[in-house]
């Protein structure tokens, strides 16, 4: 959200277990509808091809948020 304050459109990449916390933080920062690209958890242990698959899920969500702003 700090990037948004600088005029740079942004989206948060978030895994499912952290969606509630991310929404809480966005409400606390004054933007309850801040864009999240939500993917399955975890990501740290994934092989490169599995990360690419997560990116394929996240990218359309991020683009939609950035375009709809």
Reported as a pLDDT band with limits 50, 70 and 90, residue 3 is confident
- Mean pLDDT estimate for the chain: 94
Residue 38's domain comprises 2-68
pLDDT of 2 reads 84
Using a 10 angstrom Cβ sphere, with 0-12 exposed, 13-18 middle and 19 or more buried, the burial of residue 45 is exposed
State the CB neighbour count (10 A cutoff) for residue 59. Answer: 12
Reported as a pLDDT band with limits 50, 70 and 90, residue 49 is very high
Residues in the chain: 69
How many domains does the chain contain in total? 1
Q: Report the sign of the C-alpha dihedral through residues 13, 19, 21, 23, in that order.
A: positive
pLDDT tens string 18-44: 999 999 999 999 889 899 999 999 999
């Amino acid at each position: 959200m700090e990037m948004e304050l600088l005029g740079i459109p942004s989206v948060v990449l978030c895994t499912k277990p952290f969606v509630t916390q991310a929404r809480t933080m966005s409400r606390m920062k004054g933007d309850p509808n801040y864009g999240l690209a939500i993917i399955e958890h975890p990501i740290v242990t994934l092989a490169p091809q599995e990360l690419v698959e997560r990116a394929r899920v996240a990218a359309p969500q991020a683009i939609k948020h950035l375009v709809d702003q």
